[in-house]
Amino acid sequence: MENYKITLLKGDGIGPEIVNQAVKVLDKAAEKFNFTVEYDEALLGGCAIDATGVPLPEETVAKCKASDSVILGAVGGPKWDNQPGNNRPEAGLLGIRGALGLFANLRPSVIFGPLKSASPIKDEIIGDNMDIMIVRELTGGIYFGERGRDDSSAWDTEKYSVAEVERIARVAFDMAMKRNKKLTSVDKANVLESSRLWRQTVINVSKDYPEVELNHMYVDNCAMQLVRNPKQFDVIVTSNIFGDILSDEASMIAGSIGMLASASLSGGKLGLYEPIHGSAPDIAGKGIANPLATILSVAMMLRYSLAQPEAAEAIEAAVAKVLETSRTPDIYEEGLTKVSCEEMGDLVCAQL
């Protein structure tokens, strides 16, 4: 029987609530598919600042490195807005990604049939089975480049190396090979020198994947095309900041940002799994948060880090079934049953 060590970074706001439900579902999956899970908790974000003075304690990094995988809730909130930039909760998030070498962020935008009516996009535009995988470079670009500020100006530097682009491009091409063999690389090569390097490097990597249809798109056009004709996309690969923006847009096409999972991967099996939404401090403690993005992140963890694809598929199927009758307030429709965060976790477990 396989045993997995999982580090929990519950974080701030609704983080603890949604992670608790994800753990409940993971435990049920372990029982059903004959593996065991050990948990260890660590601090990240605002809660870490309150306890230790820094958003990413060394102990947290050590615990994560010693685990098979990491589940993260969400970090941040107005409480810590007065912190300097390098000591804000979000700095802890960037720090853990860098410390664990998590350079590839997978953000699927999948529309569940019962949620089609929740999408702001017309049915005929979405189609019956929209399924887009955004592959975002996670440890380079403007978020990690040189930055500074003086009395009259501020600057952030967008910088990429050939090696950084090559490794994220290979992740995207490998993903495309397992799907529909179609890859869109998104850049701003008509303006940015870093994007010209990006495009040329992706083209060079494409020579090793002759079966994959590669096309290039400027980021502003991609933002438009996602709402005009999302069915044209299968796998999208792009830089850190472009991927951050486009994946949030894609999440709303799918019906709710509360539904979108993500995986951050290194070159090995270790990964960090989290919902793409924030800590939502305005609803923290009210029991109305949607835990499904975190539960679906657990499914991604089972697939990409723990080699338990059947368990992953079972969780995804359970979520789809529960959505037919029950919703948290953010995705509620009249005539269905409105449930709390905890009740949603219980329903997914029962369906499993």
Q: Return d(Cα 119, Cα 74) in angstroms, integer.
A: 24
Do residues 172 and 135 lie in contact, with contact meaning Cβ atoms separated by under 8 Å?
A: yes
The position carrying tokens 């008509």 is 190
Which residues are designated catalytic?
143, 188, 220, 244, 248
Phi, psi for 178 (deg, rounded to 5):
-85, -5
Please, is 3 exposed, middle or buried when counting C-beta atoms within 10 Å of its C-beta (0-12, 13-18, 19+)?
exposed
Three-state DSSP state, 104: strand
CA dist 272 and 265 (Å) reads 7
Residue found under tokens 């950084």: 164
Per DSSP bridges, beta strands 271-275 and 261-265 are antiparallel
Structural tokens at position 17: 């609530």
CA atoms within 13 A on the CB side of 169: 27
Contacts of 32 (CB under 8 A, 6+ apart): 311, 314, 352
**Residue labelled with tokens 């997914």:** 348
Are 49 and 57 spatial neighbours (Cβ–Cβ below 8 Å)?
no
Q: At what angle do helices 219-228 and 240-253 cross, to 10 degrees?
A: 10
CB 19 within 8 A of CB 8: yes
Task: Answer whether 66's CB lies under 8 Å from 31's CB.
Answer: no
